[in-house]
Structure 1
Amino acid sequence: MHRALVTFLLLALASAAFAEDGARSEFTDSRDGRVYRTVEIGGQVWFAENLAYAAKGSFCYGGAAKGCSERLYPKDVAEKACPAGWRLPSNDDFQKLYGYAGKTGVRSVGNALKAKSGWDRNGNGFDDFGFDAKPAGYCESRKKCEYRDCFLSMWSSTENISWSLYCVDEDFNKGTYSRTAALSVRCIKE
């Protein structure tokens, strides 16, 4: 009973400490009229969903043409895909997000950022900050795509570095991909 009370109090304190964050808003991309949810986390303003702009060279998982709400971008396309006033986050931006999300000390960073639904293999998170990270898979080529419901990897502006969440892992991991791999994009406000 004592341990449950301590956990409850830690969660309550973490929620209160981060109450000033989580400010949610919306942004309309003038290029296609799509409305994106945004969220402030640790002084940074992020898209609260993956970019879905049909930039030349981007594509949908497995080449799907209809109902594509999750687009994947090779690195060269990702570098120019965010709308005006937004940019591809740097490795430092992701590290700041990682450090901030890890300050609660109660949950793993991955579970704090993952959406509450949509992840295979019981990999759903708690979405403590409104980042709402959902799986989108990745593609080595237009025909070789994997892990649609179990993996999210987002490009950073730093050469070949991405940050990833996996359905069977509770962390938020930094990794590298070739520039031709197609990954998701999360934009951050300039």
Structure 2
Amino acid sequence: MKKNLLVFGTCAFALALGLAACGEYGSSNGPTNDHDFDYGEFTDARDGQVYKTVTIGTQTWMAENLNYDPGDVSGMGSYAWSGCYYNASSNCTKYGRLYTWEVAMDDASCGYGETCNASLNPSTPVRGVCPSGWHLPSHREFEELINYIDPSFGYNHTDDASSSTAGEYLKSKSGWDSNGNGTDAYGFSALPGGSGDISDNFYDAGSVALFWSSGVYNSDYAFHLHLTYSNERASLYYNYKKHARSVRCLKD
């Protein structure tokens, strides 16, 4: 890996004076320069699409939004839907595909308005719409991601919660409205794919990134990771399962 000699020298000088180490990744202050990460590559055998991957801490993530077409999903329920933003294939190419929660879960018999056994921290990962060897992240696995970047975030959230800094490091360096780009310091490269629903209503592409988790809040709501152009927060919110959002798969 590349070494940043200037940063190394500065940190060594600080340590020699007995000061705290600087620029450590996973610290509450975040990285002072871009993280030296290496992208991997994964091919989805279902359709041949190739995705960049990146390891952050002990987790290996797809570094691009999932763009797998699950085909006819009407049998999953009244609110099952998957498609491209504004139904334009170019938006699937740019942002990946959008999925309502039951489709993201690959029909867990607990779509919008249904009670199910999905939990914040399932004992067995939910593969959902992800390819073999990968799964839909749980609420707790998103917590782990945020805590690696901002340890002050904490764990065991059962309601809306936010880190004030992690969003800056998870967002891509371009593609966000109103100078809302991030530093992409860990290679997660979050793109603002917005949201949609079965009625062809679409919102916020360019300004908001929303990634489904397998964690359920109640019969109507499930948890998702939320990033926005307007601040540097990374939030775990719950919202309607009937809304369509992006998916980032996590390696088993």
TM-score where L is the length of structure 1: 0.86
1:179 to partner: Cα distance: 1.5
Aligned to 1:141, what secondary structure does the other structure show? Answer: coil
Give me the whole-angstrom Cα distance separating, in 1, the residues matched to 2:26 and 2:90. 42
CA contact (8 A) 1:137 1:149 kept: yes
- 1:66–1:163 distance in 2 versus 1, CA, 3 Å: closer
1:58 corresponds to = 82
Give the equivalent residue in structure 1 for 2:245.
183
- The residue type equivalent to 1:48 in the other structure is A
Partner AA of 1:71 in structure 2: R
1:155 to 204, 212, 216: 212
Query: Could you say which residue in structure 1 is the equivalent of 2:193?
Result: 136
Specify whether residues 116 and 67 from structure 1 end up closer, same or farther in structure 2 by C-alpha distance, changes over 3 A only.
closer
The answer to whether the Cα contact below 8 Å between 1:87 and 1:189 also exists between their aligned partners in 2 is yes
Measured at CA, do residues 12 and 24 of structure 1 come closer, stay the same or move farther in structure 2, by a change above 3 Å?
Answer: farther
TM-fit CA distance, 1:15: 5.4
Identical residues among aligned pairs (%):
38
For residue 129 of structure 2, the aligned residue among 81, 88, 107 is 81
Q: Give the Cα separation in 2 of the matches to 1:163 and 1:41.
A: 16
Residue 13 (1) aligns with residue 23 (2): yes
Aligned to 1:172: 234
1:40-55 equivalences in 2 (<5 Å): 40-55=55-70
The answer to whether the 8 A contact 1:119-1:134 is kept is yes
Q: CA RMSD, aligned part only?
A: 2.8
SS in 1 for 2:92: coil
Aligned-partner Cα distance in 2 for 1:114–1:85: 25
CA contact (8 A) 2:25 2:149 kept: no
Alignment deviations for residues 6-27 of structure 1 (CA, whole Å, 9 cap, x no partner): xx85996325988998342000
**Structure label with greater radius of gyration:** 2
Distance 1:12 1:26, change over 3 A: farther
Q: Map 1:110-129; keep pairs closer than 5 Å.
A: 110-129=167-186
Do the aligned partners of 2:170 and 2:187 also contact (CA within 8 Å) in 1? yes
Partner residue, 1:146: 203
> 2:156 — aligned with what?
none
Task: Name the structure 2 match of 1:29.
Answer: 44
Deviations 1:55-110 (A, max 9, x none): 13410011124562221001111112100000000001000000001159xx9100
Structure 2: any 5+ residue segments left out of the alignment? Answer: 1-6, 12-19, 72-80, 106-127, 153-163, 217-221
Could you tell me how far 1:180 is from its partner in structure 2? 1.2
